[in-house]
Amino acid sequence: MQHRLRNKFNDFANHDATAGIMMLIFTVIALAYQNSPYAYDYRAWLNTLTGFVFGNFELIKPLILWINDGIITIFFFSIGLELKHEFMEGQLANKKNILLPAAAALGGMVTPALVFTLFNYGDPFIMRGWAIPTATDAAFSVAILLLLGSRVPSSLKIFLLSLAIFDDVGAIVVIALFYTSQLSTLALAGAGIAIVFLALLNFFHINRKSIYCVVGIFLWFTILKSGVHATLAGIITAFFIPLKKNNGQPLVHEIYDKLKGWIALFILPLFVFANAGIDLQGMDLSMITSNVSLGILLGLFLGKQWGVFIFALICIKCKLAPMPQGANYRQLYGVCILTGIGFTMSMFIDGLAYSGSPIFNYADSLAILLGSLASGVIGYLFLRFFAGNAAKDGPSAKPNPAPAQESTLAENPADAKIEEKTAASVTA
């Protein structure tokens, strides 16, 4: 009995829909706390100073910064592991599978940024938030697709996951280039030493995870002090971990597999709980219809779906890439609507852009929630009731000239197991 319960818990923790479900639950909890008599305790807890002291050295920060600069780095580390696998052995190792999701991801960044700029051009401070509506929360969007089950072809699930990978790459580049404060030469030199050490570990194919952990923590600290956002340490460390052990067993997947449950059940819910607590009591219509709110909300809900679909359509019509196998244009557009679920990544960039300050009275955070909610609900309803069957549309009836390459990692992190998990998921 105990063994069976443990297996069911592990299955739940590692299911692709779990992170989205947990984040939704903790969003509701955070909103309830912030708008209850316990709001002061909620904010006081987030601003509790904590850290460590070693001799004359001390690193003391509010708890919310430890979450947003520290714990969330583990999530970015897992993204780095997934990126490395996908580009070396997974779906994106085949160049034929790269163009469509890459172009769609580019459109999903350019168009929302233009929508935001249209509402806020001329105000340099507000324009710091141009990247807020450009992000896609893969956990939520994939969770919704899984709820639709066999109504959505597995090729579109792979398309969304591949698009999310390129979206993550774009977010990493944006954070590195546009959300870097005044740089510290000394700290950057320390980060450079750590990166060289990681490169040597990779070159000599060192498999000891503890060594990478120690060097990764040192890299995180130096990047934190350098002025570059500390989450980049997670991505960099992941890139230098060997894909396989010396005996040929997968190493990147082993680490990712062990982290996935922690990320779904603890790290992402904690991040959402710390950042989704929006004070709704002082809200009025003028806040929601302010330029910054409209730029974010419409950027997510309209800019993302238009940009992703238009760029994907151009690729397909120009025969640069095939339509995902078994899919029609309506189903493709429905998936494009789901890319407007920015949520955690949008909140993360919002914190970087406006330094986590409630300068807009949380109207910016509310706009993220509303834009993401609209994209999720309408995307689900569109795919559920209006997308139709693949066989009814011309392009879907044709065999895909470039079938997707199956991932060599059947267990996780993305595409290879998506069909198996879909069969076991809840269908609406």
pLDDT of residue 417: 43
Q: Is the dihedral of CA 66, 262, 86, 399 positive or negative?
A: negative
pLDDT of residue 276: 87
pLDDT of residue 280: 82
pLDDT of residue 390: 47
Dist CA 128 CA 153 (whole Å) = 38
pLDDT of residue 91: 75
pLDDT of residue 388: 67
231-270 exposure pattern, b = at least 16 Cβ within 10 A, e = fewer: bbbbbbbbbbbbeeeeeeebbbbbbbbebbbebbbebbbe
pLDDT in tens, 349-403: 998 898 766 778 788 989 999 999 999 999 999 999 988 654 444 444 344 444 3
Query: In the chain, what are the helix, strand and coil shares in percent, each to the nearest 5?
Result: 70, 5, 25
Q: What is the DSSP letter of 51?
A: E
pLDDT in tens, 140-179: 888 888 788 778 888 898 899 889 889 988 988 898 888 8
pLDDT of residue 229: 81
pLDDT of residue 408: 36
CA proximity to 19, closest of 191, 146, 163, 149: 146
CA proximity to 300, closest of 78, 97, 135, 54: 135
| Cβ neighbour number for residue 306 with a 10 Å cutoff | 20
pLDDT of residue 9: 77
pLDDT, block means (10 residues), the chain with 428 residues:
75 81 92 92 93 83 91 92 87 84 96 96 93 89 82 87 87 85 87 96 94 96 87 92 92 92 93 88 79 95 97 95 91 96 90 79 88 95 81 42 38 41 36
